[in-house]
Structure 1
Amino acid sequence: MDKQLRAFLAIARSGTTTAAAKELNVAQSAVTKRISNLEHELGTALFFREYRGMSLTEAGKLLMVRATRIEREYRDGKDEISAIASAGLSNLRIGAGPVFYLNWAAPLIGMLKQTYPGLTIDLRTMDNEEPASQLMSGDIDVYLGMIPEDKIDESISTSVVLQIEHGIVMRADDPNSQRENVDPGRLKHYDWVSFVADPVTERSIETYTLPKGSKSSLITIRTTSFTTGIQLVKSGSFIMSAPLQLERFVKKDGLVIRPVEKGMPRRDAGVYARKSSLGFGAVKTVRRFFDEVRV
């Protein structure tokens, strides 16, 4: 991609020529010259030069939209060409929500390493709020989990594997655990742990348990750590919302998970990847793995 646009994007994102030079691994004077040349070419200032850094002018904001699109197209083009020219990636960056990394991360990585012994894998556990932007920006190659449709664009391919529904995790000696389905209205006096950032489930819990129009919240702790949530429930002071697909892990700790009597929202979850990377052998292997476990 054009050096001047790289310098422009680096400054726009970091706010200083010093940080941009470090990111681009060039001298600060080279970054300054590239921006000066670009502004001369366009006939207008792109940045306000301020004491503490640089910020975009109106012209700079317009160019930022176009430059970001060019950057994405350039990256996607490299992906597509690399898929044709080689066997695929040398490093596969996977983001995964809890249902996927707890149930399938180990066998998936085993299959990838067996198929591509030289492949390195970066597995990141992520909640539902992070992956869309990281996938579209190229920070991760594949996401396994849930992404709302309004968070992704036409550059992303989606392959649905299952529908995720939350239930309630509680101690086995809790009277409510004896019911096949739990009435959330009976749980309003508990302290709640919300496992992973999931506003949809949180709203459902509070709709079922709090008086209409209440501005209170039953959620007293939010965590992305399944182990932490389980330990809190075992202490006897909390109950936790978690996907029903994690039942076998709940049982290992002597706890139970029950569906909600009125039902929680059921949402599609699966494999998300940039369309430009679908030709990579490693990405194909991930999709093929989940074709076999689709439920």
Structure 2
Amino acid sequence: MAIDRNLFAFLAVAETGNLTAAAEQLHLAQPSLTKRLKLLEDEYGARLFERHPRGMTLTPVGRVLMDHAKRIEQRYIQAREAIDAEKTNKLERLKIGAGPLFQRALLANAFDTLRQEFPETLLELRADVHEQNLPLLRHGHLDVVFGALITEIDEDDIEAIGLLKVHLGALAHLDHALHGKTSVTIRDLAACPWILYSNDKDTSSMVRGYFVRNGLTPPTFSIRTSSYEFGLDMVAKGNYIMPIPAELDQFLRPSGMRVLPLDEPIDRFISGAYVRSSTLAYPVVRRLLELIRQKANELQIQLTPKL
């Protein structure tokens, strides 16, 4: 069995429940993905999925394979990375997934330094929230994922490394009426039109929880967008509110936007890195984490007096 092909294909379909989504995740044509599943079913002599109009679900045999396949996948990736590190101690491609906070505030300087210190390593960035990037880390398509450390990880070989305390705030245009207040309350925000970055379900839950905790009806999001940049453009041009990490404030002020002076953050959480233990064998990965930690500490020191 070609573990890096057929079994990974099975895992992708099992986790997404959809051939199209799994094919996109694996960068495969759908007929090729279907062929790989058929090879597995022929090998085990049983159907692994039930096909439905809206997707695919595991059969009892498929669920048994799923339990074992996850462990096999983890060990396979660990072995491959450990052997590569032992042979060369170099990583040809460092594949990083990162959400908006890390993209805008923390990664650029680190990339510059890594290019100088590890010129043989190609740096690749996939811009998305951790919810979308974590499955790619599990399957070996990413090496490090930066984002909110909210999702519980039950894999033994994936470590969660805290790097930054994040305060979720509300972004508005500099001319927004609420910027005229020294302290903005939740009731001030209740009537505002909100924009939601739709890829980030955790932020949506935090905003709703913020209102519910204070005995108010959660706001109706006026705009949902899968483009973070489009959301920022709408805030810059209109009267909208967008939930973002307050740590991004200094990076957005030149574009005519500021985080509102809330009397309390919408929520607080830890952001950091998800990384496979075997990947830490590479010096370039350890150096990346060191650089991000240094930059995160600087950002935290700059922000603390304002919170």
Which range, TM-score by smaller chain? 0.7 to 0.9
Change (3 A) 1:186 1:57: closer
Q: What is the letter of the counterpart of residue 165 of structure 2?
A: Q
- The aligned residue for residue 260 of structure 2 is 258
Instruction: Using the TM superposition, give the Cα deviation of residue 133 of structure 1 relative to its aligned residue in structure 2, in angstroms.
Output: 2.1
C-alpha separation between the residues in 2 aligned to 1:95 and 1:125? Answer: 6
Could you state the TM-score of these two structures normalised by the residue count of structure 1?
0.80
Q: Please say if 1:102 is aligned against 2:104.
A: yes
- The aligned residue for residue 223 of structure 1 is 225
Among 74, 86, 92, the alignment partner of 1:84 is 86
Which segments of structure 1 move beyond 6 Å, counting only runs of 4 or more?
18-21, 30-34, 48-55
- The aligned residue for residue 42 of structure 1 is none
> Identity rate of aligned residues, in percent?
24
C-alpha separation between the residues in 2 aligned to 1:264 and 1:105? Answer: 25
Q: Please say if 1:22 is aligned against 2:32.
A: yes
Q: Structure 1, residues 9-48: CA drift from partner, whole Å, max 9, x if none?
A: 6467359xx9798369xxx6x9867754543xxxxx3447
Among 189, 206, 210, the alignment partner of 2:211 is 206
What secondary structure is seen at the aligned counterpart in 2 of 1:154? coil
C-alpha separation between the residues in 2 aligned to 1:138 and 1:50? Answer: 27
Unmatched 5+ stretches in structure 1: 40-44
Change (3 A) 1:178 1:152: farther
Unmatched 5+ stretches in structure 2: 14-18, 21-27, 298-307
Change (3 A) 1:9 1:160: closer
Change (3 A) 1:205 1:56: closer
Q: CA RMSD in A?
A: 3.4
1:128-147 residue pairs with structure 2 within 5 A? Answer: 128-147=130-149
Conserved 8 A contact 2:206-2:267? yes
Conserved 8 A contact 1:166-1:243? yes
Higher Cα Rg, which structure: 1
C-alpha separation between the residues in 2 aligned to 1:278 and 1:141? Answer: 9
**Structure with more helix by fraction:** 2
Residues 106-115 or 178-187, more deviating: 178-187
> How many residue pairs are counted as aligned between the two chains?
280
- The aligned residue for residue 178 of structure 2 is 176
Q: Structure 1, residues 162-186: CA drift from partner, whole Å, max 9, x if none?
A: 1111222223333321233311201
